[in-house]
Amino acid sequence: MTRHDTAMSGTAAEAMIVMAEVEKWYGSFQALSGINLSVRRGEKIVLCGPSGSGKSTLIRCINHLEAYQKGEIRVGGTLLGDDGRTIDAVRREVGMVFQHFNLFPHMSVLRNCMLAPMRALGIGRKEAEATARDLLARVKIIEQADKYPAQLSGGQQQRVAIARALCMRPSVMLFDEPTSALDPEMVKEVLDTMVALAEEGMTMICVTHEMGFARQVADRVIFMAEGSIVEEAPPDIFFTQPRHARTRKFLGEILRSH
Q: How far is the CB of 204 from other proteins (least distance, A)?
A: 15
> Which C-beta is closer to other proteins: that of 164 or that of 246?
164
Site residues, other proteins (CB under 8 A): 63, 65, 88, 91-92, 94-96, 98, 100, 102-106, 115-116, 119-120, 150, 161, 164-165, 168
> Which C-beta is closer to other proteins: that of 105 or that of 252?
105
Q: What is the DSSP string of 193-234?
A: HHHHHHHTT-EEEEE---HHHHHHH-SEEEEEETTEEEEEE-
> Which C-beta is closer to other proteins: that of 88 or that of 236?
88
Q: How far is the CB of 61 from other proteins (least distance, A)?
A: 12
Query: Measured between alpha carbons, how far is 258 from 252 in angstroms, rounded to an integer?
Result: 10
Q: How far is the CB of 36 from other proteins (least distance, A)?
A: 24
Sign of CA dihedral 208, 214, 217, 222: positive
> Which C-beta is closer to other proteins: that of 48 or that of 165?
165
Q: How many CA atoms lie within 13 A of 39 on its CB side?
A: 30
Q: How far is the CB of 257 from other proteins (least distance, A)?
A: 26
> Which C-beta is closer to other proteins: that of 104 or that of 146?
104
Q: How far is the CB of 254 from other proteins (least distance, A)?
A: 26
Sign of CA dihedral 103, 107, 113, 116: negative
Strand arrangement of the beta sheet that strand 29-40 belongs to: 29-40, 15-26, 70-75, 78-79
